[in-house]
Chain A
Amino acid sequence: MPLPSEALQQSFLALDRMRASELVAVAATELPPLQVIETMVRPALEAIGQLWEQGDCALSQVYMSGRICEELIDGLLVGSASDASRILTPQVAAPRLAIAVLEDYHLLGRQIVRTVLRAGGYEVLDYGRQDVEELLDRVCADRIEILLVSTLMLPSALRTRMLIDGLRRVSPQTRVVVGGAPYRFDDQLWQEVGADAVGLHAGEALTIVNRLTGEAP
């Protein structure tokens, strides 16, 4: 018999909302919402990200899994006295996180990463599409500690160097995590642009953020 997280993963990949909902509902009779998310939902999403990286599932499945996951999390939190971020945020002080897409209108990757981080208990400011100057201003104003930057096109990825150089001057405490297609085709690119880490699939986001904040994954 598969573990609950594996069964949930299979229901995500099959885009079987009903089965996913049943699995979570059964778990929720025995465990508090945070534990259901941490032991079932989060591992399922991370495993699906890994499958995509290996070429064993498609991006449409990753995105639609995230969409179902968002509905499940919302369902778990219905009736709770606390808001989502308070329930999901770990007890230790959470870092101030933001995510942005640099210069592109392709926003899918950022949405998937947001969902994974939410399942991991993090609240993430979503800046959407940004240019370098605008993004620098927002990161400073919001005192962001970890910035996740998604790009689709190579020139946008290269422009991340300018962003990071700017951040080192005006917000040196901010760590930068990059991701997106160019990094998947050039394994030295993230270091060239001066990033602190690269995520090759959304499932890595939690591990990276935990590592940068000094927590064990």
Chain B
Amino acid sequence: MSGTQGLQAGLTSMQRVLTALGHQEPDRVPLFLLAVMQGARELGLSIEDYFARPEQVAEGQLRLRAKYRSDCFYTFYYASIETEAWGGGTIFRKDGPPNAAAPVIHEIADIARLTPPRIEDSPGLLRVLETTRLLAQESRGEVPIVGVVMSPFSLPVMQLGFERYLILMHEHRELFARLMQLNEAFCVAWANAQVAAGANAICYFDPISSSSMVPRALFLETGFQVARRTLARLQAPAAMHFASGRVLPIVDDLAATGAAAVGVSSHEDLGTLKAACRGKISLLGNLNGIAMRRWTPAQAEAAVKAAIAAAGSGGGFVLSDNHGEIPWQVPDTVLLAIADAVERWGRYPLDWCQTA
């Protein structure tokens, strides 16, 4: 889309995002500023206390969106909330995301006796669902609610530990297949429970499928097949997110997974990714969340401009960070500068890109 077709005023976030994901230009580039823990700061709570009550997380998301003008609500708590459901623990800290405690599967052979947990038996997951319901009431269909799942292919890093998982993947293919079967059942149930609670889309975190983690040939045998089977059973569109991992070697394969969008890394050229994905799969990214911590507002603006110039034309692009979660240490001034820069430079048509 170009010219005056891009000048649509007064779109809701939902309309803006759907237009962009439909590979057309809305009124401006959508912004998914994926602030999670920052809700605790808004409410004056510790990160651990914040995540203990679903209404606090809903309130945090409302305040964060009002402040940073993000085009979505993001119901992500922390990754290990899923392994809590499998019997694992979580280590909270004051200055960063809660982390998975020790792996829950102690021996590879234990996979033969494993059964997936039920969503309704998992207090942590029920809290996420309640947050989703509360946000759905507030959103009234005008703001996309993005739920989160760990992919069945990536969850084992927390279930088993990374080393043991790589050994499973390479040397115990039957048990690997069984674990994928169990994880797929859990992932589909968990994603669809979030959709039933009001999530409009699912962010499918799959860092192990990235080319930083496994070569393309292995991805096509494993993570690709898992994603294709799993995403086909979800009752909402999904974005595959690689949490800063590289995807260029597999970018032509990703549309075939059924994903509507892909979260991409600051380690890869956004223009090259756009050229490969234009009209096929939308891009979500790729501001460097780690470097963001030391940006000035001017640097934040420059980064936003560069990303929009590289990937904004024709829609199919949502500006976001490259990891799927803004670090706790990123200052407010930077997040506000990002929001301001999207307003200033993200308005379609992007005539300044041609003249720049």
User: Taking beta carbons and an 8 Å cutoff, which residues of A are in contact with B?
Assistant: 15, 52, 55, 57-61, 63-64, 67, 103-108, 111, 153-156, 158, 181-182, 184-186, 188-189
A64 touches B163 (CB 8 A): no
Interface of A is mostly: helix
Contact A108 B162 (CB under 8 A): yes
Q: Can you list 18 A-B pairs with a CB-CB distance of less than 8 A?
A: A52-B212, A55-B268, A58-B212, A58-B214, A58-B218, A60-B213, A63-B163, A64-B166, A67-B167, A104-B99, A105-B99, A153-B97, A154-B327, A182-B290, A185-B266, A185-B289, A185-B291, A186-B294
Q: Which residues of B contact A59 (CB under 8 A)?
A: 212-214
* Cα-based distance from A104 to B80 in the complex (angstroms): 13
Contacts of A64 in B (CB 8 A): 166, 170
- Chain B contact surface mostly: loop
In-complex Cβ contact of A58 among B157, B167, B215, B288 (8 A): B215
Q: How far is the CA of A154 from the CA of B214 in the complex (A)?
A: 23
Q: State A181–B246 Cα separation when bound (angstroms).
A: 13
Docked-complex contact A105 and B100, CB < 8 angstroms = yes
Report B-chain residues with C-beta under 8 Å of the C-beta of A105: 99-103, 161
Contacting pair B166 A155 (CB below 8 A): no
Chain B residue total in the interface (Cβ 8 A):
38
Question: Which chain B residues border A60 with CB–CB below 8 Å?
Answer: 166, 169-170, 213-215, 218
Residue contact A155 to B95, C-beta cutoff 8 Å: yes
Give CA–CA (A63, B161) in the complex, Å: 13
Select one of A107, A156, A184 contacting B163, CB under 8 A.
A107
| Minimum CB–CB distance for B101 against chain A, Å | 7
Q: A64-B170, A108-B162, A186-B291 are in contact. Are A155 and B93 (CB under 8 A)?
A: yes
Which residues does chain B contribute within 8 Å of A58, judged by CB atoms?
211-215, 218
Distance, CA A22 to CA B229, complexed state (A): 40
The distance in angstroms between the C-alpha atoms of A109 and B266, with both chains bound, is 21
Q: Does B244 contact A (CB under 8 A)?
A: yes
Bound: A107/B248 CA distance, A: 27
Q: Does B293 belong to the interface (CB within 8 Å)? A: yes
Q: Taking the nearest CB of chain B, how far is it from the CB of A203, in angstroms?
A: 15
Task: For B293, list chain A residues within 8 Å (CB).
Answer: 154, 186
| Contact mask for chain B residues 304-340; partner A; CB cutoff 8 A; 1 contact, 0 none | 0000000000000000000000011100000000000
| C-alpha gap A46/B215 in the complex (Å) | 18
Asked if B118 lies at the interface with its beta carbon under 8 angstroms from chain A, I say: no
**Known pairs A55-B212, A154-B329, A155-B96 / 5 extra A-B pairs, C-beta < 8 Å:** A58-B218, A60-B214, A103-B99, A155-B97, A186-B293
The distance in angstroms between the C-alpha atoms of A153 and B327, with both chains bound, is 10
**A55 in contact with B267 given A60-B169, A107-B161 (CB within 8 Å):** yes
Q: Are A185 and B290 in contact (CB under 8 A)?
A: yes
Q: Are B215 and A61 in contact (CB under 8 A)?
A: yes
